[in-house]
Amino acid sequence: MNDHELETALRVAAPPANLPAGLAGHQDRILREAAAGRRRRRGGRVAAAAVLGVALVGVGGSAVAGLGGHETPWGWIAEQVIVNECYQAITVSYDPPLTEDSAIVRDARAYLSSIDIASLDHSAKEAEYLEREHAGEVARSEALREQDAIFATVFLQLEAHLTALGYAEELVEHNVGIFSSSDCSR
Amino acid sequence: MTRPLDDRAFATAIDANRDALFRYFLRRMEDREDAAEAFGELLLTAWNVRRRMPADEAEARMWLFGVARNILRTERRRLARRSDAVRYLVEQVRAAAGHDDDAVHRDVREAIAELPDDDGELIRLIYWDGLTSSEAGAVLRLNASTVRNRLARVKADLRLKMSSRDEPVSTRHP
């Protein structure tokens, strides 16, 4: 088998990939819904969302490390990385009119980088989640509860910090957020 | 520093790569439903982190493929947790739905599937998704010379595997 034959065999072995009708319309609907959901979430607080197909399984234990300015395997520069059974990166996100050079974005990044996640007291959030689960919310594993509690506590501290710096409440509540992205396959 | 995209540029990048990204999932996932779900997840993820998308058109494309790959890996982990019984059910349903697969093509796909993860993905990105070797290297975060060397080695491996499969059964199992 020469190189040309091999390459042809590889190409024609591609599984069929017939696109569904109206894919562009589906795309528009999904993105419109995402934009609308984001606005709704921001009604009362800074947006905090987990992205990249988060499947946080078994993040228990104490190997939690807070690090600043880390490049993740998928190319982010994250202000915080939580390393455990899953790898979770946390970074600041923002919406117009803010830009990367806005003072509040710079302050948010600096503060997020400075948080010592290993010694962060997230017990209040953890207790709150447990109570909500007892009240009927879908139960999560202890490890996932801990992970979510850390994330929420980081968010609350960042919000409090930005408010304490004197930034307008509306700006803090509507234009700055944090996102996390996880990879459990490493 | 990479200049972030505005929302209009984000939409343009998604529009330009939509079909290729959906096909990326279709070619790697057993079920079209799973592929559709993964594609939706890709859109939501890309939307959420759109400020991180590079402004350059080619870099944005590689960035999107990188996000797609990450989603695929997470999804595979989820599917791997299926019990044997569930897996059997899925196979039965698939067979009943008449999934037809040419035996020769199936052999090639199996040979690719037997490669280490990154090697297999390198082949798929180039020969199934039509990326250049440097684009595939960008998705896999490999430099150009590594890609060249790896591609040569993997093709040699595949040629060997596929040649041995082509041999008559009697010569393979004397």
pLDDT value at position A69? 67
Give the 3-state secondary structure of A20-72: CCCHHHHHHHHHHHHHHHHHHHCCCCCCEEEECCCCCCCCCCCCCCCCCCEEC
- Contact criterion met (CB < 8 Å) for A53 and B71: yes
Residue B109: which of A1, A13, A185 has the nearest Cβ? A13
Residue A6: which of B45, B124, B159 has the nearest Cβ? B159
Reported CATH class of domain B101-174: mainly alpha
What ipTM did this prediction achieve? 0.71
pLDDT value at position A66? 36
For residue A12, pLDDT beyond 50: yes
Residue ranges, CATH 1.10.10.10, chain B: 101-174
- Contact criterion met (CB < 8 Å) for A31 and B47: yes
User: Is any Cβ of chain B less than 8 angstroms from the Cβ of A73?
Assistant: yes
Cα of A30 to nearest chain B Cα, Å: 7
pLDDT value at position B131? 94
Alpha carbon distance A154, A172 (integer Å): 15
Residues of B in contact with A16 (CB under 8 A): 26
Task: Quote the mean pLDDT of chain A.
Answer: 73
Yes or no: say if A59 and A147 are a contact pair by the CB < 8 Å rule: yes
Of A30-34, A114-118, B20-24, give the lowest mean pLDDT range. A30-34
Yes or no: say if A149 and A126 are a contact pair by the CB < 8 Å rule: yes
Q: Which residues contact B26 (CB under 8 A, 6 or more apart)?
A: A15, A16, A17, A18, A19, B32, B35
pLDDT value at position A52? 30
Report pTM: 0.52
pLDDT value at position B85? 65
Of A99-103, A135-139, B102-106, give the lowest mean pLDDT range. A135-139
Q: What is the mean pLDDT of residues B130-140?
A: 92
Nearest alpha-carbon partner for B35 in B23, B20, B43: B23
Yes or no: say if A177 and A93 are a contact pair by the CB < 8 Å rule: yes
Q: What is the mean pLDDT of residues A121-150?
A: 80
For residue A45, pLDDT beyond 90: no
pLDDT tens digits along B2-12: 334 467 788 89
Question: Bridge partners of A176?
Answer: A94
Yes or no: say if A180 and A147 are a contact pair by the CB < 8 Å rule: no
- Contact criterion met (CB < 8 Å) for B108 and A23: no
Task: Quote the mean pLDDT of chain B.
Answer: 80
